[in-house]
Amino acid sequence: MTFDYDLFVIGGGSGGVRAARVAAQGGAKVALAEDDRYGGTCVIRGCVPKKLMVFASEFPSAIEDAQAYGWTVHSGGFDWSAFQGKLHAELDRLEGVYRTILSSNGVDTYDARARLADAHTIELSTGERKTAKHILVASGGQPVKPDLPGAQHAITSNDIFHLETLPKSILIIGGGYIACEFAGILNGLGVQVTQFYRGAQILRGFDEEARGLVSEEMIQNGVNLHLGTNIMEMAPVDGGYRVKGTNGSDEVFEQVMFATGRVPNTSDMGLEEAGVQLGRKGEIVVDEYSQTGVPSIYAIGDVTDRVNLTPVAIREGMAFVETVFNANPTPVDHELIPTAIFTQPEMGTVGLSEEAAREQEPIEVYATSFKPMQQAFAGRNDRVLMKLIVSQATRKVLGCHIVAPGAGEMIQLAGIAVKMGATKEDFDRTCAVHPTMSEELVTMKTPVRTA
């Protein structure tokens, strides 16, 4: 049987675009369909605009610090519309880059919604039907709101970049990294931020000591954080929304934002009808090669709900091309992925938390918390944390956790060592770079505890 394409990709995010480009560069005939903007969650409504907002939100404290260092600085107010205009211009530019990448590599693109008609056939919302030897689903995920009275009035992280004006007050519901990042961003931009999280501590799944410090610093920076608290109902009133909390609170907020989870974009795509198995959250079930139970259909990225990070989706896309088009079966490596959370303070982590490592084997914990020189000189009480989890048996560094300004930059480099299997003695043999915060990673001599 002859097909219109060797590969048809559904989804124009980072993973789908990378797979399409690399397959096309190798000589495959490739098409890609995207019914929204090219670049996906990360570029259009995630990592990129969020990080630019983080930068914008950090200037008030930087201006205060400049004064402490002897500079005469006069800060005006923050012009949201001016920033937003530049932000959207940058996102338009990046979307153009993604479109150019595809067209310059000979990938046919369809600005349409795609669904499966069968294991080799794609049905587009334009009415066209295309066939492909291989189909790659890279349709990503989206935020969801809980089913409770008034929830339809709230916004999600998708909407935050499109607000016409910054609210004077906002309630953010959730305790994951998206909720915590936007709490810090909006707080820095001058919004009165209240955050509800139903759990005992924010950033569930991360190292307990590290997330505890992030929580403390967020509160110190002005975020009104309520743990063990959830929303019961919300209703529109003059000036915003009246929200009742499980802690007995009854307040009005100008905006309410839910950051309570994301779901894979798999609804009404014809997946199950084509024989593709979906999991409990609607995620596509795949093997270590990203292949579904239908041999011609593969899936990568957030739609598989494995490790929902942009660089992981890109690596999954590369592994897919190696496996299917280069006859080099390449399983996806999800071990020891370094990651950063752009809370304020930032957190970088790779490997096991102290809690997870302790359950696995006897460990030593090396940790230090201190006031960084730059902020301490400016009179601020910010604290940072450097932490290594070490196996007693092999001396390997099982986990590295950093809470500090620039933690994302530091963990990228520490991640190389941890991924290579570096031991505590390898860290000790490395000469310190002085004066830096990260030198503490190679100068901690005595464990603070063993377990």
The residues assigned a catalytic role are 434
CA distance 245 to 253: 12
Query: Could you tell me whether strands 363-370 and 347-351 are parallel, antiparallel, or unpaired per DSSP bridges?
Result: unpaired
Q: Is the dihedral of CA 40, 44, 48, 54 positive or negative?
A: negative
CA distance 368 to 384: 8
Q: Are 180 and 156 in contact (CB under 8 A)?
A: no
CA distance 57 to 77: 12
CA distance 158 to 140: 13
Cite the beta strand spans of 139-286 per DSSP E. Answer: 141-143, 169-173, 192-197, 224-227, 231-237, 240-245, 250-253, 255-258, 262-264
Burial class (CB in 10 A: 0-12, 13-18, 19+), 249: middle
Residue 344 vs residues 44, 57, 291, 340, 405: alpha-carbon distances, Å: 22, 10, 38, 11, 8
CA distance 401 to 210: 7
CA distance 173 to 253: 12
CA distance 437 to 441: 8
Q: Are 18 and 138 in contact (CB under 8 A)?
A: no
